[in-house]
Every structure is written in structure tokens, then in C-alpha cells.
Amino acid sequence: MLAQYWPILLFIGVAAGLGVVLLIIGMLAGPRRPAAIKLAPYECGFEAFEDARMRFDVRYYLLAILFIIFDLEIAFLFPWAVVFQHIGLVALIEMALFLLLLVVGFAYVWKKGALEWE
């Protein structure tokens, strides 16, 4: 039984070993020139003005999650559009229901004010 998985285990072992070897070579052969400017936190060109552990507004995370959800739902349209001529009327009705659900969800989020930043 193990003989069937031998190529997969070998591939995983070689990949992990190669990754470790490359990291070690990079640490040994790479330049080390630490300076105060290089070790300082990067704040988009500005001097650091607060603690690095300051809290983000929850609305930032909410907006990011909503973007991912709606972006992934829209991605379902592409495979459907490719085979649209072959799938028939039932699939058209199912996609219409899917889009209706997407629009209702978007309207709900908009009405709740989750898209408002201020």
C-alpha cells in the first residue's frame, strides 16, 4: 500500500528539503547590513507616529470580507457564461435565482450601512 504513495512522499520530501536548503543558503550567503533606517517600521513614507499595535476599525475588516464574498460570487458567472448555450433553461433560472440572492444580499449590506466608511 505504501508503495503506491512513494512518488508523492518523495516529491514532498524533495520539495521540503529544497526549501530548507535554499533558506539556509540565503541566510549564510546573503548580505547583512542592518541599519537603524532598515530596522524601523515602514509607514508609507511617514515617520511612525503611534504604536504598531494600534487597533483597526472593525469596518475595515467587514469591508474586506464583503469584497471577498461578492467578488467570489461574481466569479461563478464566468464558467456559467462559457457553457451557457449547452445547459438549457433550468440553469438559466438557477443563475437568475443566484443573481437575485446576490442582489438581495448586496441591498441588505447597503441598507445596514456596512459600505459606509464614515
| Helix/strand/coil (H/E/C) assignment for every residue in 46-86 | ECCCCCCCCCCCHHHHHHHHHHHHHHHHHHCHHHHHHCHHH
The full set of domain ranges for the chain reads: 2-112
Residue 71 has what pLDDT? Answer: 86
pLDDT one-digit tens code per residue, 53-75: 667 677 788 888 888 888 888 88
Q: What architecture is domain 2-112?
A: Up-down Bundle (1.20)
Residue 113 has pLDDT above 90, yes or no: no
Pick the most confident of 20-29, 46-55, 57-66, 87-96.
Answer: 20-29
Report yes or no: 41 and 48 within 8 Å, Cβ to Cβ.
yes
